[in-house]
């Protein structure tokens, strides 16, 4: 009798526990009703720009699944593909580092996160620009990462130099040919955009040069069912268009699929009846889905579908499982989840440094709004941390691009210091008349763009985020209000987002921002200007231009603090107590 009463209760608890996969404390989204995915002759799952976010976003229910859950999702999708006897390929477009403590808090970026990433079973991958800034990281990609994938790691235009001879070799493979499990013969390439800020031990060949090379032209004649280009670039402009045109000259009707990245956006491009491309966002928020039918019977127009999935357990289970009771977790998935939890602990990433009193957003609100992260940085963080103590009042200037993410209300951890401000630039200073400060800020904000990404990044982001109305997306059940999130408009319309959302605003901010000059400073007073080493090359000529007669002595301001550690310093000083 007793058992009969207790069992259902126990079962309820057990299943509630099962829902708590992902990282400890991860919040789960409401079970919104989702439209089934359309499978084709050939199917693709894609990720890009993971930037170390293998733990997912435990505090944002839309994206709270971790990389272990993703592995379980992929395994279950592969089982589904097997039942349908259809090929499914899983693809990553690069940028594994810079943006999260898991990848960036180790002596070598990716030392702990890369092995976790490569315990996933990807079919095709390529390299991102963030793997090439530092020679040591690029060398590790070549020595440790590329060999794990063999011919699945595709780098058609990226080479590494031998330290002794300067001889260049491709970091991965320039192209590969292989068969999917159900017979699809794939010819695959991997391209990086024409990136110029790489370390000097690597060479990025211009895409236009690579596609004119005899090896590339010859490879295009290899017989295949489909051509896949895994790329780290915009799908709409320049390099991608050159690649599509070059392939079409030799293979005018071959089914062609591009996977883009770098811009951190959701996007889909239809190049022609038998060619399309998808970009799958950033930071393990989005998992891209693309399918194509009509490949075998030479249809002039393939039927191609696409969907942008929010990376959470509800999404994964809904699309991967045949029925809700089916087992979702896999051995590999659970193992990856455990490894991430352990690594985050070992790296002290979950240490709570303090408590944010509210949400601060990087680009949802203008700098006049109290919810603006850049306003907080300019008015509170910089004055508190880089406080010009050297006997003079001063201003501290940073490039707003050094700040990369929102700060949410509640615990602020060591990981958050990497998430919000991953780069380690030091502070440099000189002494000027207060009257010069205005000219310096104006000069900086009209200088040629100097981002770690190219200028296209922001333009496309805005273009894309303008979005459109959610027309065809299924509305969530009546108990679930629409939440703010991605609203995407692409070449197929506005029904690409798997979860319907209301759009999030994305407002402009100045490229360079400064802490305010203390009150009472007169134009003729001497003040310190302090800035990040990242743009000393812009400050020096500006000073010369504004005051040609003075030789400004430039020096390190403080050596104990940089653009990453300033956050830990601020939070422990000002936010130590829970509000």
- Enumerate binding residues for ligand NAG (CB under 6 A): 161, 165-166, 200-201, 270, 272-273, 301, 347-348
Please identify, using beta-carbon distances, which residue of 273 and 439 lies nearer to ligand NAG.
273
Could you tell me whether strands 87-92 and 124-126 are parallel, antiparallel, or unpaired per DSSP bridges?
A: parallel
- Tell me the closest approach of the beta carbon of residue 491 to ligand NAG, in angstroms: 8
Instruction: For the CB of residue 377, give the shortest distance to ligand NAG in the complex, in Å.
Output: 25
Grouping H, G, I as helix, E, B as strand and the rest as coil, residue 144 is helix
**In this structure, are residues 291 and 37 in contact, taking their beta carbons and an 8 Å threshold?**
yes
Question: Residues in the chain, how many?
Answer: 579
CB of 352 to ligand NAG, least distance (A): 12
Report helix, strand or coil for 399: strand
Q: Which CB sits closer to ligand NAG, 277 or 401?
A: 277
Q: Which is nearer to ligand NAG, 199 or 503 (CB)?
A: 199
Select 492 or 517, whichever has its Cβ closest to ligand NAG: 492
Which of 299, 431 has the CB closer to ligand NAG?
299
- 506 to 60, 359, 452, 567: CA distances (angstroms): 18, 16, 20, 24
Residue 299: CB minimum distance to ligand NAG, A = 9
Nearer to ligand NAG, 165 or 169 (CB): 165
200 or 559: CB nearest ligand NAG: 200
| Residue 199 CB, nearest approach to ligand NAG (Å) | 7
- Residue nearer to ligand NAG on the CB measure, 245 or 348: 348
For residues 284 and 53, what is the distance between their CA atoms, to the nearest angstrom?
6
User: CA-CA distance, 383 to 388, in Å (whole number)?
Assistant: 8
At how many degrees (to 10) do helices 436-445 and 536-546 cross? 130
Output the smallest distance, CB 121 to ligand NAG, in A.
30
Question: Nearest distance from residue 86's CB to ligand NAG, in Å?
Answer: 23
Q: Which two tokens stand for residue 297?
A: 């019977």
CB of 161 to ligand NAG, least distance (A): 6
| Of 149, 49, 63, the residue nearest 99 (C-alpha) | 49
Helix axes 67-84, 331-346, angle to 10 degrees: 170
DSSP string, 339-394: HHHHHHHHTTTT-EEEEESS-BBSSSS-TTSTTBHHHHIIIIIHHHHS---SSS-E
Cβ atoms 43, 329 nearer than 8 A: no
């Amino acid at each position: 009798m007793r058992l009969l009463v207790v069992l259902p209760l126990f079962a309820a608890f057990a299943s509630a526990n099962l829902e708590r996969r992902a990282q400890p404390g991860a919040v789960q989204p409401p079970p919104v009703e989702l439209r089934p995915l359309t499978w084709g002759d050939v199917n693709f799952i894609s990720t890009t720009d993971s930037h170390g976010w293998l733990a997912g976003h435990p505090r944002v229910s839309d994206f709270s699944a971790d990389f272990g859950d993703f592995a379980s999702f992929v395994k279950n999708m592969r089982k589904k593909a097997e039942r349908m006897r259809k090929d499914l390929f899983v693809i990553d477009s690069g940028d594994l580092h810079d943006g999260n403590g898991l990848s960036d808090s180790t002596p070598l970026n990716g030392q702990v996160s890369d092995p976790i990433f490569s315990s996933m079973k990807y079919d095709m991958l390529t390299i991102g620009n963030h793997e090439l800034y530092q020679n040591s990281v690029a060398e590790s990609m070549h020595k440790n990462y590329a060999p794990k994938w063999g011919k699945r790691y595709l780098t058609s235009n990226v080479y590494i130099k031998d330290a002794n001879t300067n001889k260049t070799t491709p970091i991965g493979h320039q192209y590969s040919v292989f068969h999917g499990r159900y017979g699809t013969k794939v010819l695959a390439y991997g391209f990086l955009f024409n990136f110029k800020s790489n370390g000097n031990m690597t060479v990025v060949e211009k895409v236009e040069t690579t596609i004119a090379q005899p090896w590339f032209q010859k490879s295009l004649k290899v017989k295949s069912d489909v051509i896949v280009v895994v790329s780290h670039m915009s799908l709409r402009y320049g390099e991608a268009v050159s690649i599509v045109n070059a392939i079409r000259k030799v293979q005018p009707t071959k089914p062609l699929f591009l996977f883009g990245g770098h811009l951190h956006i959701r996007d889909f491009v239809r190049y022609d009846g038998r060619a399309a491309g998808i970009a799958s966002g950033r930071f393990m928020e989005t998992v891209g889905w693309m399918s194509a039918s009509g490949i075998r019977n030479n249809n002039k127009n393939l039927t191609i579908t696409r969907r942008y999935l929010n990376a959470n357990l509800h999404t994964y289970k809904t699309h991967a499982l045949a029925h809700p009771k089916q087992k979702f977790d896999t051995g590999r998935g659970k193992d990856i989840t455990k490894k991430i939890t352990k690594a985050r602990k070992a790296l002290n990433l979950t240490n709570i440094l303090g408590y944010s009193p509210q949400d601060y957003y990087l680009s949802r609100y203008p700098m006049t709004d109290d919810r603006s992260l850049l306003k907080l940085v300019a008015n509170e963080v910089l004055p508190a941390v880089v406080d010009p103590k050297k006997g003079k009042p001063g201003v501290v200037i940073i490039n707003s691009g050094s700040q990369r993410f929102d700060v949410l209300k509640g615990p602020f951890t060591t990981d958050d210091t990497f998430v919000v401000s991953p780069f380690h630039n030091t502070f440099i200073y000189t002494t000027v008349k207060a009257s010069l400060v205005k000219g310096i800020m104006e000069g900086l904000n009209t200088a040629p763009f100097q981002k770690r990404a190219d200028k296209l990044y922001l333009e496309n982001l805005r273009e894309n985020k303008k979005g459109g109305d959610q027309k065809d997306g299924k509305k969530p059940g009546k108990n679930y209000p629409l939440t703010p999130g991605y609203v995407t408009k692409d070449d197929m319309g506005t029904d690409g987002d798997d979860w319907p959302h209301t759009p999030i605003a994305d407002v402009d901010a100045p490229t360079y921002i400064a802490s305010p000059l203390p009150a009472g400073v007169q134009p003729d007073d001497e003040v310190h200007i302090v800035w990040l080493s990242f743009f000393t090359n812009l400050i020096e000529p500006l000073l010369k231009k504004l005051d040609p007669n003075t030789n400004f002595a430039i020096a390190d301001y403080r050596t104990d603090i940089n653009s990453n550690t300033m956050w830990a310093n601020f939070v422990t000083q000002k936010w130590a107590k829970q509000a």
